[in-house]
């Protein structure tokens, strides 16, 4: 949705997101028109570590949160007194990062005397699909796949998502980051692997696809990550010949084969989840949802199974505050948060919040 000027006669929501390594704020009206969507990325701060460092992330949020909020209000041509409510992501995420956004949101809600709404980051990722579709997309199966999450949900409503499958170790996005580091492709790993894989052979290496043939809806990517490590660096203590030089073509082949293994598992589990939950609609959100090979696999799933696949728009795949417009659903149910609400860093495992 394109940004558009605010109309002071409409109800306006300021949403704040700081669950991981992006500080974000957005202004969204009651009709889900995004009037502004500002994101301050920390990718450069974490690049040399190959992943997010929680302490660095929380300190960066402290520096960025007020300027980001000011910019979001300015771009929406909106004053704080024009706001109807404040929404903030309180779960799941990094505890220090979440607390920065929550403190800012509590302060604004208290000063302006308007409702505070606590948002679930996972449900928000799936709500981005609702925003893109322009109609009620529930019930559906939801896949959230990112650096921190690889989860499947039976979504009976926007704010009623039951977890039916999740990763038992690394999330898919985390595996992308680690494999990209092994291949010297930089951080974040998802886009780098996607680009490198375009020149590679996805059948060059037979990497494992854990749980592919099992009925369980869980994921595991640690074995895949280890298989790539051994292919790149050799098996520790092995007396076999060292692995071939990591040429540009070999990097492309490893990237393509790894990526295909991840996509095969994600698509297969989405197929199983849709059948088990008895629904014909699939929502896909999170950073890895931007992967071109995954989108191709989901297109094939749609054709083969007759499942309507709705993926989040590219600009809403990575963390942002616009998707926290799910708060309007909670607002309509008068589900407001008290000013002593706390963050919940871990994943809420089952049922309605």
DSSP state of 321: S
Q: Name the pLDDT band for 7 (thresholds 50, 70, 90).
A: low
pLDDT at 349 over 80: no
Q: What percent of the chain has pLDDT over 90?
A: 85
Strand bridging mode 34-41 / 140-145: unpaired
- pLDDT score for 347: 57
Confirm if 123 and 161 have CB atoms less than 8 A apart: yes
Confirm if 104 and 69 have CB atoms less than 8 A apart: yes
Q: Which CATH number fits domain 134-316: 3.40.50.300, 3.40.50.720, 3.30.70.360, 3.30.420.40?
A: 3.30.420.40
- pLDDT score for 236: 83
The token pair that represents 57 in the structure block: 């992330």
Give the residue range(s) of CATH 3.30.420.40 domains in the chain.
12-126+317-332, 134-316
Confirm if 345 and 93 have CB atoms less than 8 A apart: yes
The rounded distance, in Å, linking the Cα atoms of 108 and 15 is 11
pTM of the predicted structure, to 2 decimals:
0.90
In 234-321, where does DSSP find H-type helix? 248-277, 292-305
- pLDDT score for 6: 52
The token pair that represents 56 in the structure block: 């660095």
For residue range 26-35, what is the model confidence (pLDDT) as tens digits? 999 999 999 9
In the chain, where does DSSP find H-type helix? 43-46, 54-75, 95-112, 121-133, 172-182, 189-197, 222-233, 248-277, 292-305, 327-332
The rounded distance, in Å, linking the Cα atoms of 184 and 181 is 5
DSSP state of 340: T
pLDDT at 200 over 90: yes
For residue range 84-115, what is the model confidence (pLDDT) as tens digits? 999 999 999 999 999 999 999 999 999 999 99
Q: Which CATH number fits domain 12-126+317-332: 3.30.230.70, 3.30.420.40, 3.30.1330.10, 3.40.50.300?
A: 3.30.420.40
- pLDDT score for 237: 77
């Amino acid at each position: 949705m394109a940004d558009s000027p605010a109309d002071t006669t409409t109800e306006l929501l300021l949403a704040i997101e700081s669950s991981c390594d992006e500080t974000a704020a957005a202004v969204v009206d009651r009709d889900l028109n995004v009037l502004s969507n500002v994101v301050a990325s920390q990718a450069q701060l974490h690049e040399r570590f190959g992943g997010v460092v929680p302490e660095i992330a929380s300190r960066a949020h402290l520096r960025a949160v007020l300027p980001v909020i000011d910019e979001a209000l300015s771009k929406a041509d909106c004053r704080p007194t024009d706001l109807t409510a404040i929404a903030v992501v309180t779960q799941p995420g990094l505890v220090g990062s979440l607390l920065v956004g929550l403190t800012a949101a509590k302060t604004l809600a208290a000063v302006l005397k308007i409702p505070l709404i606590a948002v679930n980051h996972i449900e928000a990722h799936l709500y981005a699909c609702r925003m893109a579709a322009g109609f009620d997309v529930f019930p559906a199966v939801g896949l959230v796949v990112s650096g921190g999450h690889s989860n499947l949900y039976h979504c009976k409503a926007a704010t009623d998502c039951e977890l039916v499958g999740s990763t038992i170790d690394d999330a898919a996005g985390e595996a992308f980051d680690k494999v990209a580091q092994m291949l010297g492709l930089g951080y974040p790993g998802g886009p780098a692997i996607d680009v490198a894989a375009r020149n590679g052979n996805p059948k060059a290496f037979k990497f494992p696809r854990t749980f592919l043939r099992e009925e369980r809806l869980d994921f595991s990517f640690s074995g895949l990550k280890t298989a790539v490590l051994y292919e790149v660096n050799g098996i520790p203590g092995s007396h076999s010949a060292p692995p071939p030089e990591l040429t540009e073509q070999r990097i492309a082949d490893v990237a393509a084969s790894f990526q295909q293994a991840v996509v095969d598992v994600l698509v297969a589990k989405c197929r199983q989840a849709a059948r088990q939950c008895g629904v014909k609609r699939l929502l896909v959100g999170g950073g890895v949802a931007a992967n071109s090979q995954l989108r191709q696999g989901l297109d094939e799933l749609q054709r083969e199974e007759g499942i309507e696949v709705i993926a989040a728009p590219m600009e809403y795949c990575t963390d942002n505050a616009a998707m926290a417009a799910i708060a309007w659903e909670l607002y309509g149910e008068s589900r407001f948060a008290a000013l002593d609400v706390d963050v919940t860093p871990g994943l809420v495992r089952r049922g309605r919040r």
